[in-house]
Amino acid sequence: MATARTRVFFLTSVLCATLAQDFKLKYKPATTPVRLFTEEELKRYDGRQEKQPIYMAVKGVVFDVTKGKEFYGKDAPYNALVGMDSTRAVAKMSLDPADLTSDTTGLTEEQLKSLDSIFEGTYKSKYPIVGYTASRILKDDGSPNEDFKPEDQPLFQIKDEF
Ligand code: HEM
């Protein structure tokens, strides 16, 4: 009897220790907290104020591009891209004001591929992620953005971004 109880106790302890270990590995807290940015909030980081960091979103992911000041700072060549989600401009390599938007409607396969390669090769590898655009997830009234369908965006790697 005592042996059976000891065995159950032992097995339970092993199971708990294993689960705890598993939990510890899978649910490590993020080292830096990320936040959601409304359009208005993102605008505050448009490189025009000296002491403020510079933020820019691509595909709804907000990057701190401050260390690329020579590209994005005040009077720098790509300053138009910052303080907003400029996914379309990046995809088309365009600074046309009409392209300064997160809207990817009608982009060609080639432009989407180029977007993904710049997203991975430049932004994700060079700049820290500080958050996500609120509109990527929620509409202005706080309801879920039903237009956001990762499965409709073949180059969108949601598991890498969250
Ligand atoms: C005559 C046209 C252009 C020239 C000569 C040019 C040149 C360059 C150069 C030399 C770099 C730096 C590469 C590096 O050091 O890693 C760069 C980066 C970049 N360019 Fe251009 N560019 C031009 C047009 C554009 C346009 C129209 C856009 C519009 C979106 C654009 C967006 C970018 C971006 C997003 C980067 C990456 C900056 C970063 O590393 O954060 N470029 N370009």
- 112-133 residue pLDDT tens: 999 999 999 999 999 998 888 9
As a whole number, the mean pLDDT across the chain is 81
CA distance 83 to 86: 9
Report pLDDT digits (tens) over 141-152.
Answer: 888 878 766 555
Strand order across the beta sheet in which 61-64 lies: 35-37, 129-133, 61-64, 55-58
**Residue among 78, 79, 119 to mutate when testing ligand 1 (max atoms within 8 A of CB):** 78
Size of the chain, expressed as the number of residues it contains: 162
What per-residue confidence (pLDDT) applies to 149? 63
CA distance 114 to 88: 11
**Spacing, Cα 16 to ligand 1 middle (Å):** 53
Q: Where does the pLDDT of residue 100 fall: very low under 50, low under 70, confident under 90, or very high at 90 and above?
A: very high
Atom 25 of ligand 1, nearest CA residue: 93
Tokens 């979103």, residue located: 57
Q: Which is nearest to 37 in space by CA: 14, 65, 56, 53?
A: 56
What per-residue confidence (pLDDT) applies to 141? 83
| pLDDT of residue 106 exceeding 90 | yes
What per-residue confidence (pLDDT) applies to 15? 47
**Spacing, Cα 136 to ligand 1 middle (Å):** 26
pTM of the model: 0.75
| pLDDT of residue 104 exceeding 70 | yes
The structural domains of the chain, with segments of one domain joined by +, span 1-29, 35-161
Which CATH superfamily hosts domain 35-161?
Cytochrome b5-like heme/steroid binding domain (3.10.120.10)
**Residue among 55, 93, 95 to mutate when testing ligand 1 (max atoms within 8 A of CB):** 93
